[in-house]
Amino acid sequence: MQTIEGPEEFAARFGAPPETIERLRTYERLLRQWQKAVNLVAAATHDAVWHRHFADSAQLVRLAPPEARSWIDLGSGAGFPGMVAAIMLAGVRGVSASPRPSPTSPQTPSAPGRVGGERYGNPPPARGQPVPVASRERQSAPIRFLFVESDARKCAFLREVVRQTGLAQAGIAADVLSKRAESVRRSVNEALPRVLSARALAPLDRLLELAAPLSPPGTTLLFLKGREVGKELQMAETRWQFHVALVPSVTDTHGRVAVITNLERKAKD
C-alpha cells in the first residue's frame, strides 16, 4: 500500500486541485500550532498527517451520495474525517460524476456471522491510481457540515480551521457544535438528506445508537473501522437491522469503511 507522505502524493492520489492542497496545508499548519496546547492527534502520527489523517479521511468523499445536503461528523476531535471532507468539497462546482459505488447498486443486508459488502460497487482504485476528489454534482444549494465535539478547546480549533481555510467563501456552510453526540438531535434539520461520519469514536453498536436519532430515511453512515469490524458487525446485528458494505481502506491494509444505509432498530421479542 502506497504511503502518502505529503501534499504532492496526496494531490496525485486524490486528483486534488491546488486550492484544495493549499487549504490542507493551512489545516496542517494549524494542527501543528495547536497541538502544542491541545492534544489533537496522537504523537506517533505527527509526521504522518497526510497519510494517517488527511488521506484516511478524504477517501470517504467518493462514498458519499451526491444528493446529500447535510454532513454530520460525530466526535470530530481534530476534524477527522469531517473537516477533510469539507475541504475536499469546498469550491467544487459542476464536477462530473466519477466512478463510485452507486446508490442503487445492490448492497448486502447484514446477517449474523457474515460480513457483507466486500463486493460493494466498484473496486478501489489500483495502487497509484488517483481517487476522485468528489463524486457529486454540486447543486446551487451548498452542503452544510456540522462538527459535533464535546471538548471546547477542540471546538475552538475546528472553528479556526473553518475560518482560515475559507470554507464559507468556497460554498461550504460549516458549524461547530460543542455538545456530546447524544444531545445534538434538536440542533439538526431532520429533513435534509445526509451523511453521518465518525472515526475512532466508539464500537459500531454504540455508533449506531448515536446515529439512529439523526438518521432519517436516505441517510448514509460512513464509519472508518479497523481489523475488528467483523466482530463489531456481529454485535451490532443483535440490536440493529441495516444494509452494510465494507470498502477496503486506501490507507490501511486491515482497515475498512463501513457504508451503512437503511438503519432500523430491531423490534424487541
CB atoms within 10 A of CB 148: 28
Q: Which three cell numbers stand for residue 48?
A: 504522518
Least confident stretch, 61-75, 105-119, 223-237: 105-119
* pLDDT of amino acid 46: 87
* pLDDT of amino acid 180: 84
Confidence of residue 1 (pLDDT cuts 50, 70, 90): confident
Residue ranges in the chain assigned as alpha helix (H): 7-14, 18-35, 56-58, 82-89, 152-165, 204-211, 229-236
Mean pLDDT of 104-127: 42
Q: Is 184 helix (H, G, I), strand (E, B) or coil?
A: coil
Least confident stretch, 29-38, 117-126, 132-141, 166-175: 117-126
Task: List the domains of the chain with CATH numbers.
Answer: 7-265 (3.40.50.150)
Confidence of residue 116 (pLDDT cuts 50, 70, 90): very low
Which pTM does this prediction carry?
0.84
Higher-confidence residue of 94 and 89: namely 89
* pLDDT of amino acid 143: 87
Confidence of residue 184 (pLDDT cuts 50, 70, 90): confident
Q: Residue 187: CB partners within 8 Å, gap ≥ 6?
A: 146, 177, 179
199, 223 Cβ separation under 8 angstroms: yes
Could you read off the pLDDT of 14-37 as tens digits, one per residue?
Answer: 999 999 999 999 999 999 999 999
